[in-house]
Structure 1
Amino acid sequence: MGPTSSQGVHVTSQDLVGQRIKTIRRQRGLSQAQLAHPELSDSYVSLIESGKRTPTPAVLELLAQKLDCSLTYLVNGVTAEQMEELDLGLRFARMALENGEFIEARRRYSELMEDKSILGLATLRQDAEFGYARSLEACGQLDEAIRVLSSLLDTDKESQSPSRRVAIAIALCRCYRESGDFQNGVHVGERLLGETARPNWNDDLIELGATLLSVYIERGDLLRARQFATELLSAAESLGTPRSIVAACWEAAMAAEQVGFGEEAMSLIERALAIQSETGGPRNLARLRGAYAKLLLQVRPAEAEAARDLHLRSMRGLKESSAGLGDITLGSIFLARAELALGNLDAALEYAQQALGLVGESNHTLHSEVHLVLGQIYYMQRRDADCSSELSVAGESLKHLSATRKVAESWQQTADTMAQLGDHDASVEAYQRALSCVGL
């Protein structure tokens, strides 16, 4: 388990300032009365040291002079040199994360969180903890990322800016979605949106809404997804910013495709892609190209070759922009499916095996998906024993997932392939699990 500063008794910055004044006073051999005289009363100094009074900036400056210490140390508990070192450490950690050096970023953020000098610096500590959680997510350690993000969201409300709080919620909602815990993903998204005045949408809240919409879709709550997509699109249009329109159109397209409005979905995602191409960063552009390729294959299967080529371009962009492990794994799985649809079985197998080498067994969603596509490839190659083995592994992972429409579809695909293999008992069991997932 990684480091955390949120365990134990919560100490406010006011308490810490008082404790530092008391400690330095005693080190200097001064009584409260001696420190106070002549400008302050000893009772006022006592209240400051106990955390019951917040000294003004002028009083803090006076006390720093009397105690012969820097104001920076009195306020933050660190020297100016230590502050500079912490800032430098955060910059290096952030750079490692942005450059795709996720293990190095995780190590650097972890070291910063263990540095005692950062404890009294709320903003820098939150930067370190949030960066640590993002690096954990990029490394595929979703459970630990969820633990750190949940702690941040629940314990630091007072010291967080609204944008920081929404950013934490977006990351937490996304981690819950990727881990298959859709109930908690929905809870986080709806709770944070409920904390704000809903008509006052901004880019951050639209992005949170889009992430929540993606969880509705993954959970199979398609009626709610369509309703919320309409609300989100309207809010983005009113706001009129590129970031909000891209986020809303992107996820609204996914919702439209799920309920059978394929061409509407294509129109929405093409609009998002056009805006992102002009105004957005390369990493999100690569992700959006990948989403467009996926929709293209689903809505217009005759254009499988174009979908594959577009996704190859997306994968190049993801690797150049140092995207996380999840994005690369999903991209490899999609390419395996595209090559399978084109009848290129050797290429499909190569991509599926690449994905298998990236995915961890703890991510049951991706684990089941990659073994299912391997089973389908082996079936087409007439490797029946290998096919049966892969489908069995996929089934074990599916058993760990919540009952959703997507999981039902995976069980149905498993059942169909088992039936083609002639394993009727396994096929019937998989069909029953598919029906159970949709409440039948």
Structure 2
Amino acid sequence: MAAVTTSDLVGLRIKTVRRQRGLSQAQLAHPELSDSYVSLIESGKRTPTPAVLELLAQKLDCSLSYLVNGVTAEQMQDIELALGYARLALENGEVSEARTRFAELLADNNLTGLAILRQDAELGLALATEACGDLEGAVTILNRLREEEAPLDRQIELAIALCRVYTDSARFTEAVEVAESVLGSSVRPTWTDLHIELGATLLAAYLYRGDLLRARQFAAELLNAADVLGTPRSQVAAAWNAAIVAESTGHGEDSLSFAQRALAVLSENGQPRSIARMRMALAGLMMRVRPQAAAEAHQLLVRAEHDLAQTSASVTDLANARVELARAEIMMGELEAAERNAVAGRDGLPSGAHPLRAEARLILSRAQSEQGSVAEARMELDSVREWLTKLPDSRRAAGTWYAAAETMERVGDEEGAVEAYRRALASVGL
């Protein structure tokens, strides 16, 4: 059976509406077109130009959107509005809500003939599925999308997402293969912002699979490519990921220089919300590389929190700011302030399990234990342990297990600490 083409569908819609209006082909065609041309269009043997389609829509008294896409202008508006709401939910950290909204949108039959919008919704569903922790589900959706025809930019977006999900799933070889299939293992494409972002995602895969030399070489290549490209977006992505590589390879001061470079570029060209997020990231890096600079990091975080409060920041952004403030305050010995901010971070998130809530509980338990509230600290740790046991093994889970083990040691839970260390190793396949 021959495949139904777009021309077939457009012709069928014209034929259906013409008959509903009680018009013959000759009546529809006269005087601008010939009836034979209308017949060819309706049979799918000719593809009408945009001007002819607009003319036919006027003569049939229907919307151009319906002839092209099979939906009315009102239905198209409803679809775009629903897609916008789903994206907003995902951006604001309401990941379960976003997943539900994208799934409901894809169940709408009106979306079937709208290839680009349907792909937008499927990509959104994949990202929401990933954010909910269902990495295998996200891989399935993304691989299905990659089998479809799509513009180059969409192909790169899919590769970025799939490379990231494979990396988070500890499937590093597959992550590298996906990214290098686009970037090329030897001959690079002409660099664009999206290519740089894909390269930055590939860097993480190199790091996690232990290919530190390749990571450093590729980080330098990305920096050079971003300098040649000259766009702020590429320069920020390349500099920040060079910072991550430098930190991972023991070059802490270099990592701070790269991160400060990323913030400088973003401060001149970025949105306030993005700048505040970068300040938080820089503060976190500073606390890891220069623990003695906790007070300086705290100042960055105070400014970031203030700036976020003046923007349309998500609850996740605001909670993250509070958690990072609590981390800095523990390092500064300001335990009561740390406890207040950790509680605010924990309670400021949407209901349901959330990695940041686990991080907040870990910091809160440490602040409580150092103030002598051991029972309260253990309750927070029990909640973290319960959440972690439900997660699949991954590098991210390993990091949280390790942090939990260290905190368990502080509150005297030696048996729990040993088990947490064991789980941390198991999460990375050791």
Provide the C-alpha distance between the structure 2 equivalents of 1:368 and 1:221, rounded to a whole number of angstroms: 30
Equivalent position of 2:369 in the other structure: 379
Q: Is the 8 A contact 2:12 2:42 kept in 1?
A: no
Q: Kindly provide the CA deviation profile for residues 88-142 of structure 1, in whole angstroms up to 9, marking residues without a partner as x.
A: 9589869978997989x979999987877665444556667767888x69xx963
Q: Is the 8 A contact 2:346 2:356 kept in 1?
A: no
Equivalent position of 1:284 in the other structure: 274
Change (3 A) 1:377 1:206: same
Q: Is the 8 A contact 1:333 1:352 kept in 2?
A: yes
Provide the C-alpha distance between the structure 1 equivalents of 2:209 and 2:335, rounded to a whole number of angstroms: 31
Q: Is the 8 A contact 1:408 1:435 kept in 2?
A: yes
Provide the C-alpha distance between the structure 2 equivalents of 1:210 and 1:242, rounded to a whole number of angstroms: 15
Aligned pair 1:194/2:203, yes or no? Answer: no
> After the TM superposition, which residues 387-406 of structure 1 pair with which residues of structure 2 at under 5 Å, given as runs?
387-404=377-394
Equivalent position of 2:330 in the other structure: 340
Q: Kindly provide the CA deviation profile for residues 288-338 of structure 1, in whole angstroms up to 9, marking residues without a partner as x.
A: 111111111111111111101101111222232323333333222211111
> After the TM superposition, which residues 59-98 of structure 1 pair with which residues of structure 2 at under 5 Å, given as runs?
60=53, 67=60, 69=62, 71=64, 73-78=66-71, 89=81
Gaps of 5+ in 2: none
Q: Is the 8 A contact 2:92 2:313 kept in 1?
A: yes
Aligned pair 1:246/2:242, yes or no? Answer: no
Q: Is the 8 A contact 1:133 1:144 kept in 2?
A: no
Equivalent position of 1:26 in the other structure: 19
Q: State the AA in 1 paired with 2:47.
A: P
Q: Is the 8 A contact 1:229 1:255 kept in 2?
A: yes
Alignment partner for residue 7 of structure 2, among 9, 14, 34? 14
- Percent of residue pairs identical: 45
Provide the C-alpha distance between the structure 1 equivalents of 2:377 and 2:89, rounded to a whole number of angstroms: 38
Q: Is the 8 A contact 1:100 1:322 kept in 2?
A: no
Q: State the AA in 2 paired with 1:335.
A: L
Provide the C-alpha distance between the structure 1 equivalents of 2:270 and 2:234, rounded to a whole number of angstroms: 11
Equivalent position of 1:315 in the other structure: 305
Provide the C-alpha distance between the structure 1 equivalents of 2:81 and 2:345, rounded to a whole number of angstroms: 33
Provide the C-alpha distance between the structure 2 equivalents of 1:96 and 1:378, rounded to a whole number of angstroms: 36
Q: State the AA in 2 paired with 1:355.
A: G
Q: State the AA in 2 paired with 1:19.
A: L
How far does residue 263 in structure 1 lie from its aligned partner after superposition?
Answer: 0.5
Provide the C-alpha distance between the structure 1 equivalents of 2:363 and 2:4, rounded to a whole number of angstroms: 51
Provide the C-alpha distance between the structure 2 equivalents of 1:185 and 1:324, rounded to a whole number of angstroms: 31
> After the TM superposition, which residues 218-297 of structure 1 pair with which residues of structure 2 at under 5 Å, given as runs?
225-297=215-287
Secondary structure, counterpart of 2:333 in structure 1: coil
Q: Is the 8 A contact 1:130 1:149 kept in 2?
A: no
Change (3 A) 1:142 1:228: farther
Secondary structure, counterpart of 1:255 in structure 2: helix
How far does residue 345 in structure 1 lie from its aligned partner after superposition?
Answer: 1.0
Gaps of 5+ in 1: 1-9
Q: Is the 8 A contact 2:146 2:158 kept in 1?
A: no
Alignment partner for residue 427 of structure 1, among 413, 417, 429? 417
Provide the C-alpha distance between the structure 1 equivalents of 2:353 and 2:190, rounded to a whole number of angstroms: 36
How far does residue 218 in structure 1 lie from its aligned partner after superposition?
Answer: 7.1
Provide the C-alpha distance between the structure 1 equivalents of 2:168 and 2:149, rounded to a whole number of angstroms: 28
How far does residue 161 in structure 1 lie from its aligned partner after superposition?
Answer: 3.4
Q: Is the 8 A contact 1:182 1:219 kept in 2?
A: no
Greater relative CO, 1 or 2 (CA 8 Å, sep 6+)? 1
Alignment partner for residue 355 of structure 1, among 321, 325, 345? 345
Q: Is the 8 A contact 2:345 2:360 kept in 1?
A: yes
Equivalent position of 2:48 in the other structure: 56
Q: Is the 8 A contact 1:182 1:218 kept in 2?
A: no
Secondary structure, counterpart of 1:20 in structure 2: helix
How far does residue 272 in structure 1 lie from its aligned partner after superposition?
Answer: 1.3
Q: Is the 8 A contact 1:190 1:212 kept in 2?
A: no
Equivalent position of 2:36 in the other structure: 40
Q: Is the 8 A contact 1:289 1:310 kept in 2?
A: yes
Aligned length: 419
Instruction: After superposing the two structures, state which structure 1 stretch, 296-305 or 428-437, moved more.
Output: 428-437
Secondary structure, counterpart of 1:40 in structure 2: helix
Equivalent position of 2:289 in the other structure: 299
Change (3 A) 1:146 1:349: farther
Q: State the AA in 1 paired with 2:190.
A: N
Q: State the AA in 1 paired with 2:178.
A: R
| TM norm structure 2 | 0.76
